[in-house]
Amino acid sequence: KNEVEQSPQNLTAQEGEFITINCSYSVGISALHWLQQHPGGGIVSLFMLSSGKKKHGRLIATINIQEKHSSLHITASHPRDSAVYICAVPTTGGGADGLTFGKGTHLIIQP
């Protein structure tokens, strides 16, 4: 079964800073997900990626399949980016039996 490690667990930064959140996993996968969870609990899917890089607004996600590692970057961070960011990968290679989630990175952006 896959195991997921996210770092850092907590991150506080000033508005405008460049943010990087890391995710490592143990078993080769077909795709990795990045999710955002705001206070109050609602989950939003940010990215699903299987190779290379994806960009959406100020968010950039990269993945290195060989190194089993993904990063989520936030450029020009803003207080509204404050949330928990979670990465998730298939529990087994095929993914039919669901996802394994990281514990999340709690991000606070101060004005």
Partner 1 sequence: DGGITQSPKYLFRKEGQNVTLSCEQNLNHDAMYWYRQDPGQGLRLIYYSQIVNDFQKGDIAEGYSVSREKKESFPLTVTSAQKNPTAFYLCASARMGVDTEAFFGQGTRLTVV
Binding residues for partner 1, rule: CB under 8 A, are 4, 30-31, 33, 35, 40-45, 48, 50, 86, 88, 90-91, 94-104
Where are the extended beta strands (E) located within 2-42? 4-7, 10-14, 19-25, 32-37
Closest distance to partner 1 from the beta carbon of 27 (Å): 13
Tokens representing residue 54 in the block: 């994806």
For residue 36, count other CB atoms closer than 10 A to its CB. 19
CB of 15 to partner 1, least distance (A): 27
Q: Closer CB to partner 1, residue 16 or residue 103?
A: 103
Residue 111 Cβ vs partner 1, minimum distance, rounded to whole Å: 26
What tokens appear for 74 in the block?
Answer: 């936030």
Residue whose pair of structure tokens reads 């990281």 in the numeric block: 102
